[in-house]
Amino acid sequence: MKLDKAKLLASAPDSYWIDSMKDIFPSYPALHEDAKADVIIVGGGIAGITCAYLLSKEGLSVTVLEANRLACGTTGHTTAKITSQHNLIYYKLLKQLGAELAKQYADANQTAILEIKKLTETLNINCDFVSQPAFVYTESEDYINPLHEELNTALNFGIKADYVDSIPFPFTIKGALRFDNQAQFHPLKYSLSLAGAFTENGGKIFEKTRVVELAKDEQYAVITDEGHRVSSDILIIASHYPFYNKAGMYFSRIYQQRSYVAAVRAKEKYPGGMYINAEEPVHSLRSHTTHDGELILLGGAQHKSGQGGNTKKNYEELLDFAEPYFNITGVPYHWSTQDCMTVDGLPYVGNMTSDTPNLYITTGFGKWGMTNSMASAMLLRDLITKGDSPWKDVYNPSRHTKAASALTFAAENFNVAEKLIGGKFQPLTKLENIELVPGEGKVVDLDGKRAGVYMDDEGVRHIVNTTCTHMGCELNWNPAERTWDCPCHGSRFSCTGKVIDSPAVNELSMDEDVNTVGKLLNEDF
């Protein structure tokens, strides 16, 4: 029987990781005064939390500032695969960077798997950590040779991998690689337990504390949206997309992608393992055992942030992919996430620029944030406490861009320019000539100005300025998440203008005259 996808996806997007923790979620205070620490970390995702824990173990006083709730950003919306198998990456790195740097990346991510496991055991973290093989497979003859190249490179770098002819799904594959000793877990159970261990060791965490400005005098200082100043000798920006990205021109070197997850229940038992295909479109598979039974996590349907069109279709695309192979009985959860992508596909971890010795950054994990978060935390700990790291060169934010990466750089920045200019001249319909239904948002002409109008479930209209507060691009409506998204750098805002995702730090606002018109129109409707 044909799936009724609209019915299965009728509920609002909801992350299983966050929902399963709602009754035991720890709460940390907001910052209400000026403060000092040895190290300030801006960003309370898995990378920031891990870095805070490792540095506190070195005897440093560390303060973490999180704009929203701890680990509820990208960390709370991942597929949570702990793997050094990052699709077909090692042969690519070998050809682009040489054996030494490519092996650094392999060693960092292999070590990260072991360190995450070690922490779960040392701290007795019950986070559903399960060792699993990770497979990358192909259904195309064109990818057989790349699979063999990847296999040989991985083996030379000390990663245990095998070529296999089949996987336990009814896919007509041409070949696959199996990486053993990989893992999966519950990312919030892990991250929040690690945060608890950090605070027990004297660390401080402040939630609902958004950093909006960076200053430098004798020390670094960050200023919050409430005007409080936090000073330190060492500052780490771990806010996913850097909240401060002028130094180093990060806004021109990072772009953001959204991808989607549908957590389904099926009649079939999942056969184990984690899977991703080598060709486009990319889909991933893994399972997770819950108290209500098994969830199968389907991932993929990626697109550049703010450029997804009708984003509800992306969830339906995941069900289209799975329907031939599973008898789906329900979709209790579905969610999307945002990934920071760099022009050469490798994270930026280290000094923000070559002349900022105590200002560090960690970003650009792409689709592989679980191991890269641990690797980056270990790297920054070593740079701060020892002045060196065996992985510093491959992650170096100031590394030179290779020719192939330069093409990506040019293409992405052309895309930004196109969206920046094109959005300003988009023809709009006057607000009085459109009809909205509850849950819908549109960009309209409001008294001669560009505005976004959203009707909530009670029929009340919310009107915002649709110019992104980061660099002035014009926002688009995201119908699946009910947010205003930037097509240039990926900032996201709630339907009422609150910041959800950086790099923007300021809320959306309206000119006074347009606000007045909006209020009057809202009353008329």
- 261-270 pLDDT, tens digit per residue, is 999 999 999 9
Q: What is the pLDDT of residues 103-120, one digit of tens each?
A: 999 999 999 999 999 999
pLDDT interval class at 239 (50, 70, 90): very high
Q: What is the pLDDT of residues 189-199, one digit of tens each?
A: 999 999 999 99
The encoded tokens of residue 514 equal 């347009």
**What number is the average pLDDT over the span 353-371?**
95
Task: Give the pLDDT confidence score for residue 422 in this predicted structure.
Answer: 52
Task: Give the pLDDT confidence score for residue 421 in this predicted structure.
Answer: 53
Q: Please, which residues bridge with residue 303 across strands?
A: 258
Map out the domains of the chain with their CATH numbers.
5-400 (3.50.50.60), 431-524 (2.102.10.10)
The percentage of the chain sitting over the pLDDT mark of 90, rounded to a whole number, equals 69
DSSP letter at 365? Answer: -
Task: Give the pLDDT confidence score for residue 293 in this predicted structure.
Answer: 92
Residue 130 has pLDDT above 70, yes or no: yes
- Amino acid, res. 182: Q
Q: Are 498 and 469 in contact (CB under 8 A)?
A: no
Q: pTM, whole model, 2 decimals?
A: 0.90
Question: Helices (H), strands (E): how many in the chain?
Answer: 12, 24
Q: What is the pLDDT of residues 462-509, one digit of tens each?
A: 899 988 998 888 898 898 889 999 988 889 999 889 999 888 989 997
3-class DSSP string for 68-120: CCCCCCHHHHCCCEECCCCCCCHHHHHHHHCHHHHHHHHHHHHHHHHHHHHHH
Of the listed ranges 215-229, 379-393, 447-461, the one predicted with least confidence: 447-461
The encoded tokens of residue 466 equal 């649709």
Q: What is the pLDDT of residues 372-430, one digit of tens each?
A: 999 999 999 999 999 999 999 999 999 876 645 555 555 555 465 555 455 555 667 67
pLDDT interval class at 128 (50, 70, 90): very high
Task: Give the pLDDT confidence score for residue 511 in this predicted structure.
Answer: 47
Task: Give the pLDDT confidence score for residue 457 in this predicted structure.
Answer: 87
Cα(524)–Cα(456) distance, integer angstroms: 16
CA angle 484, 489, 494 (to 5 degrees): 20
DSSP assignments along 174-228, one per residue: SEEEEEEEEEE--HHHHHHHHHHHHHHTT-EEESS--EEEEEESSSEEEEETTS-
Task: Give the pLDDT confidence score for residue 430 in this predicted structure.
Answer: 76
Q: Are 247 and 360 in contact (CB under 8 A)?
A: no
Q: What is the chain's mean pLDDT, rounded?
A: 90
3-class DSSP string for 431-459: HHHCCCCCCCEEEEEECCEEEEEEECCCC
The encoded tokens of residue 43 equal 């960003």
Closest CA to 151 of 166, 139, 162, 138: 162
Q: What is the pLDDT of residues 262-321, one digit of tens each?
A: 999 999 999 999 999 999 999 999 999 999 999 999 999 999 888 877 888 999 999 999
Task: Give the pLDDT confidence score for residue 435 in this predicted structure.
Answer: 82
Of the listed ranges 33-42, 56-65, 422-431, 489-498, the one predicted with least confidence: 422-431
Task: Give the pLDDT confidence score for residue 1 in this predicted structure.
Answer: 59
Residue 205 has pLDDT above 60, yes or no: yes
Q: What is the pLDDT of residues 83-104, one digit of tens each?
A: 999 999 999 999 999 999 999 9
